[in-house]
Amino acid sequence: MAEDPIRVLFVCLGNICRSPLAEGVFRSLVRARELENRYLVDSAGTGAWHAGEHPDQRSVEVARRNGVALSGHARQIEAPDFADFDYVIAMDRQNLLELRTLARSPQDEAHLHLLRDFDPEPGDGQVPDPYYGGPDGFERMYEMVNRACAALLDHLEEHRLDRTTNEK
């Protein structure tokens, strides 16, 4: 019997820089490990300012240079997302706080995590918003996101194996 896919939603402020990059990186890592049937991945923003827009060109460029394709359009997180996704991954503490205010129940809150909580080099635990900075901020963001997404995927696969082993 096939398992239901793990559903992961990455969230930043406007859904044009950090969260679409995290979505693209995570998809790329999943594809490289041939695990596409195990994951559904999306991204959203806590705000609606950029709804319908493509990812920021600087995020697209840093992703392209690293072999990652970004697609999709910005959207704002909605209440049903908490039920639709197993993991709602915030890029920073402010977004996490905003997500907690949107959560309708303890079950909703149980889905919330900071991306860098999975990072083996968590620093201050946040992926800084590079929007108002230069290209080097996007490079640093990519490095953090790539490292944290790889660790997140490792974590999810370890828990999948633990769950499978315990069910036997």
Please identify every residue annotated as catalytic: 12, 18, 129
Q: How far apart are CA 136 and CA 145, in angstroms?
A: 14
User: Which H or E run includes 141?
Assistant: helix 135-167
Q: Which of 52, 64, 58, 65 is nearest to 18 (CA)?
A: 58
CA–CA separation, 9 and 113 (whole Å): 10
Q: What is the DSSP letter of 76?
A: B
The distance from CA 133 to its chain's CA centroid, rounded to whole angstroms, is 21
CA angle 157, 147, 34 (to 5 degrees): 40
